[in-house]
């Protein structure tokens, strides 16, 4: 009898311990899953290129980022770039993407591609693009590569057009292209040209213009906070800074914007250009930010852009599987 009780006791103990370990495994799994946002995403900063692009010279080659020590290999061709980028969109549930020169890819993913066209086209050309349904966003507007400030008179007509058509403008603010770009390929670019407060008078003169600042105005955090505080219509995207910067620096900048109360106006972006693996790192950099709640991650990855783009309730429900 004592032996039977002993056997029964051991059996119960085994069952209890097994259940505890199983519960712990479930808890661990749920906790791990809960740290990463895996719902629908909107990439507000992507690019398509034709065969004549200067990026063609770098196809198939490796890029070594000195700031992070990471190496990215470019797609082998522009066709491969399209295929690999769209495959990443599927993998990560990127349901929409603002693609500069997006008409090059639109027929391959019409439900995903938001067509961007920039200021290299004339006002007449852009007006025609809009009439043909080939202008959803005026961007990427990046005149500082040619040493042109946002306040230059040559850009006024583009601000007017964006306001008139109700088309958002995506404005590039960054200290350069690649690190040291002024010494390599952009001799007119200067770091000060990336300061966000340069846009203030433009915002006052075009109060109905929808605008978002690409690269979130890094590294000018205080200027960016001042601009967003004074102008509630200004949004930002995190393109390039979420993979080109060391993660600690990216988190510092992102946390500064979130802590200042602007978490509802920060949008996900990759600016992956011809290096599609940067999409993985851009997503991971945001998901690894332990100061963000799941709700804040969902805002950055999807909700804020959905609001900015005025997506319909039907679209949002479809994207979220509701």
How large a percentage of the chain has pLDDT more than 90? 86
pLDDT, residue 177, reads 85
pLDDT band at residue 9 under the 50/70/90 scheme: very low
pLDDT, residue 218, reads 98
Q: Is 25 exposed, middle or buried (0-12, 13-18, 19+ CB in 10 A)?
A: exposed
User: Is the pLDDT assigned to residue 145 strictly greater than 70?
Assistant: yes
308, 84 Cβ separation under 8 angstroms: no
Helix intervals (H) in 121-245: 123-131, 156-165, 181-184, 200-205, 221-230, 241-244
Average pLDDT over residues 291-301: 98
Domain ranges of the chain: 1-35, 37-319
Distance of alpha carbon 297 from the chain centroid: 12
Task: Enter the DSSP assignment of 74.
Answer: P
Tell me how far CA of residue 104 lies from CA of 113, 264, 269, 308, in angstroms: 10, 31, 19, 24
User: Is the pLDDT assigned to residue 69 strictly greater than 50?
Assistant: yes
CATH topology of domain 37-319: TIM Barrel (3.20.20)
Measured CA to CA, the distance from residue 80 to residue 85 in angstroms comes to: 8
Following CA atoms 76, 79, 85, 89 in sequence, which dihedral angle do they give, to the nearest 10 degrees?
Answer: -150
Q: What are phi and psi of 173, to 5 degrees?
A: -130, 115
């Amino acid at each position: 009898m004592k032996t039977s009780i002993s056997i029964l006791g051991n059996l119960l103990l085994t069952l209890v311990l097994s259940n505890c370990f199983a519960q712990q495994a479930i808890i661990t799994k749920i906790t791990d899953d809960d740290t990463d946002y895996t719902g629908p995403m909107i990439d507000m900063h992507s690019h398509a290129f034709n065969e004549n692009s200067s990026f063609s010279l770098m196809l198939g080659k490796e890029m070594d980022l000195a700031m992070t020590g990471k190496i990215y290999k470019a797609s082998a061709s522009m066709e491969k770039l399209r295929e690999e980028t769209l495959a990443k969109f599927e993998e990560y549930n990127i349901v929409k993407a603002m693609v500069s020169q997006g008409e090059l890819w639109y027929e391959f993913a019409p439900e995903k591609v938001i067509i961007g066209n920039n200021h290299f086209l004339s006002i007449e050309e852009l007006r025609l693009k809009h009439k043909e349904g080939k202008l959803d966003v005026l961007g990427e507007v990046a005149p500082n590569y040619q040493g042109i400030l946002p306040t230059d008179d040559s850009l006024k007509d583009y601000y007017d057009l964006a306001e008139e058509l109700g088309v958002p403008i995506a404005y590039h603010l960054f200290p350069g292209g690649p690190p040291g770009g002024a010494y390599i390929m952009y001799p007119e670019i200067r770091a000060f040209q990336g300061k966000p407060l340069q846009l203030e008078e433009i915002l006052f003169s075009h109060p109905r213009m929808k605008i978002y600042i690409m690269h979130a105005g890094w590294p000018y955090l205080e200027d960016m906070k001042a601009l967003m505080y004074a102008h509630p219509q200004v949004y930002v995207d995190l393109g390039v800074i979420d993979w080109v910067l060391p993660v600690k620096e990216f988190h510092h900048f992102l946390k500064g914007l979130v802590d200042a109360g602007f978490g509802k106006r920060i949008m996900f972006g990759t600016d992956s250009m011809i290096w599609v693996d940067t999409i993985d790192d851009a997503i991971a950099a945001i998901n690894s930010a332990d100061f963000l709640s799941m709700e804040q991650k969902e805002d950055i990855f999807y909700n804020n852009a959905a609001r900015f783009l005025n997506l319909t309730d039907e679209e949002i429900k479809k994207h979220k599987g509701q």
